[in-house]
Structure 1
Amino acid sequence: MKPTGLLEVTAVRRPTPRTVRVTFAGDGLAELEPWPDQQLKLLFPPPGRPVRLPADDGDVMRWYQAYLAIPEAERPVLRSYTVRSRDGGTIDVEFVLHSAGTDGPATAWARTAAPGDVLGRYGPDAAYRRPLSTADTLLIAGDETAVPAIATILSEVDNVVAFAEVADAAEEQPLPVHWLHRDGAPHGVKLLDAVRGAALEPGSAAWLAGEAGMVRALRRHLVNERGWDKRAIEFTGYWRRKLTQDDAPTTEDLADAREKLGG
């Protein structure tokens, strides 16, 4: 499948009060090979403008340089999302709605998304596919932004201990996970407490995703308090407070990247 293309909205639903599930159709999606935690880049055009796609010759670095070369007034905003599910020639992507007044361009778009709207995409690219752990038990922990990926992993792995922290009971989806409700508590506190109290067998592995600071705290617990091998932990900071996965990395983000690379 060609990495770059257009996506047209064909349906919009609300599985929970704070979640918008958008169905997209587009060229090449019918040939898309599914895999767990499958990510793609969505390109949101400036208000009142069509999507302008960079030239694509199959090289991701040249594609990104072409993206940066688009004049700022015409350049679409780039954000990373997970494919929630697929059905033939369509894919579903879920958007988490934040508190009023804190919308970024993606959330603002999702609030008013309607059939016929068009976005650009880059990916999914099999070069970024990560194999799932073959450990006897897989710990899965994340916030609401990780729910789409958690759903795809649960469809592939049986022996899991899964926790998902969401705003309140209304945000639960029909998935076999331990749901944790913040109900006004600070983000990530209940998830960290649940993981600390979980009975996990030696030799287990972990998949962690969500707000970067929360993921960092979970990883430090597993490594420093439980003595887990860092190589047994797959982790991704999907978003950062006041920043996104596609904004410039912070010092801690760079340290996380070096750890993933084994540095």
Structure 2
Amino acid sequence: MSQALPVTWVRVTDVERITPATARIGFTADELPGLLEDRPDQQLKLCLPRAGQTVPRLPEPEPEPDADDPYGMRWYEAFLAIPEAERPWMRSFTVRSYDRRRNVMTVDFVLHGDGGPASRWGAAARAGDVLGMVGPSSLYARPLPAARRMLLAGDETALPAIATVLEALPAGTAAVVFAEVAEAEEERELPSAAGGSEVRWVHRDRGGSLVAAVREAGPELDGVDAAWVAGESSAVRALRRHLVEERRLPRAAVEFSGYWRRALTQDDAPTEEDLAWAAERAADAP
């Protein structure tokens, strides 16, 4: 049976600057205990207010599951029906953690300093602020590939998900992490995998790039038999090709997700490359 994708309000409980350019923001809502699951990489969308709004205008939630809407997407039709001047900015995030005792979910905001709506809102967030939330939903859950030693690779946007994957790996799985950040000050402590883990930080201000670091890696990747890769779309595609075509990992052993697109936002229409990406990802789905 199909499920309606949940749409709800969330309220800020606390804000912590965990690095100079990353704000960790706590949210609560009465609905959270029924929405959040004990699994890694739970993705959701946050709806941010437009200029002049104190809270965003949300699409009406779907009243009932619809057999003709297996992925619960009718909310998006309602979202697009909101006049553009009033339609909230919508951005995707990953749940970093959920404290069931406090009923508080934390989400990390990367503060790019570019004046984008999510960066601007995150830099000014205060306790009591209210946003809209769409998801998360188990409809979009993808199991981690089985592995003895797993490569996790991503940029700042992927670090919350990488942390949850590290926490979720079974006892027999070790991990090696390649993480790209702007500079050394943006490094943060990551959990250790149950089977042990190594972390290599890649700094853009020193000319480093995630793709080059993984391509040029030597013994660090010995024994890697699966990978989880996320971040900027073109970098993720390049890494997936490298891992499948050059390092000979099975396609099904490489889980990948493009979280953002260089020079484009989620407000922009998908490109032909984006559509090809989505089709390829769907073809690899279990």
Q: Same fold (TM over 0.5)?
A: yes
Q: How much does 1:244 deviate?
A: 3.1
Q: How much does 1:124 deviate?
A: 0.7
Q: 2:57 aligns with which of 40, 52, 59?
A: 52
Matching residue of 1:183: 205
CA contact (8 A) 1:238 1:245 kept: no
Matching residue of 1:111: 123
Q: CA, structure 1 residues 120+107, in 2 after alignment: closer, same or farther (shift >3 Å)? A: same
Q: 2:132 aligns with which of 92, 116, 120?
A: 120
Q: In structure 1, how many angstroms separate the alpha carbons of the residues matched to 2:79 and 2:218?
A: 43
Q: In structure 2, how many angstroms separate the alpha carbons of the residues matched to 1:97 and 1:61?
A: 29
Q: How much does 1:184 deviate?
A: 4.1
Matching residue of 2:26: 23
Q: How much does 1:232 deviate?
A: 1.4
| 1:70 paired to 2:46 | no
Partner of 1:244, secondary structure, is: coil
Q: In structure 1, how many angstroms separate the alpha carbons of the residues matched to 2:241 and 2:266?
A: 20
CA contact (8 A) 2:145 2:252 kept: no
* Most deviating of 249-258 and 180-189: 180-189
**Structure-to-structure mapping, 1:171-210, within 5 angstroms:** 171-175=186-190, 176=192, 177-185=199-207, 187-193=209-215, 195=217, 198-201=220-223, 204-210=225-231
Q: 1:8 aligns with which of 7, 11, 27?
A: 11
Partner of 1:249, secondary structure, is: coil
CA contact (8 A) 2:157 2:259 kept: yes
Q: In structure 1, how many angstroms separate the alpha carbons of the residues matched to 2:76 and 2:42?
A: 20
Q: How much does 1:150 deviate?
A: 0.4
- TM-score, with structure 2 as normaliser: 0.84
| 1:239 paired to 2:244 | no
Give the paired residue count. Answer: 260
Q: 1:161 aligns with which of 171, 176, 182?
A: 176
Q: In structure 1, how many angstroms separate the alpha carbons of the residues matched to 2:216 and 2:121?
A: 34
**Residue 71 of structure 1 aligns to which amino acid in structure 2?**
P
Matching residue of 2:109: 95
Q: In structure 2, how many angstroms separate the alpha carbons of the residues matched to 1:146 and 1:191?
A: 16
**Residue 142 of structure 2 aligns to which amino acid in structure 1?**
R
| 1:213 paired to 2:234 | yes
Q: How much does 1:233 deviate?
A: 0.9
Q: CA deviation digits over 1:126-182, x for unaligned, max 9?
A: 111111111222111001110000000000114111111111211111114222222
Q: How much does 1:261 deviate?
A: 2.1
Q: Which runs of 5+ in 2 are unaligned?
A: 66-71, 193-198
Partner of 2:177, secondary structure, is: strand
Q: In structure 1, how many angstroms separate the alpha carbons of the residues matched to 2:178 and 2:216?
A: 8
CA contact (8 A) 2:153 2:210 kept: no
**Residue 94 of structure 1 aligns to which amino acid in structure 2?**
D
Q: In structure 1, how many angstroms separate the alpha carbons of the residues matched to 2:44 and 2:278?
A: 19
CA contact (8 A) 1:5 1:121 kept: yes
Q: In structure 1, how many angstroms separate the alpha carbons of the residues matched to 2:261 and 2:160?
A: 18
- TM-score, with structure 1 as normaliser: 0.91
| 1:37 paired to 2:57 | no
**Structure-to-structure mapping, 1:252-263, within 5 angstroms:** 252-262=273-283
Partner of 1:198, secondary structure, is: helix
* Most deviating of 44-53 and 71-80: 44-53
Q: CA deviation digits over 1:54-85, x for unaligned, max 9?
A: 11125522111011111111111111100011
Partner of 2:201, secondary structure, is: strand
Pairwise CA RMSD of aligned residues? 2.1
Q: In structure 2, how many angstroms separate the alpha carbons of the residues matched to 1:229 and 1:133?
A: 10
Partner of 2:205, secondary structure, is: coil
Identity %: 53
CA contact (8 A) 2:178 2:214 kept: no
**Residue 205 of structure 2 aligns to which amino acid in structure 1?**
D
Q: In structure 1, how many angstroms separate the alpha carbons of the residues matched to 2:217 and 2:239?
A: 8
Matching residue of 1:133: 145
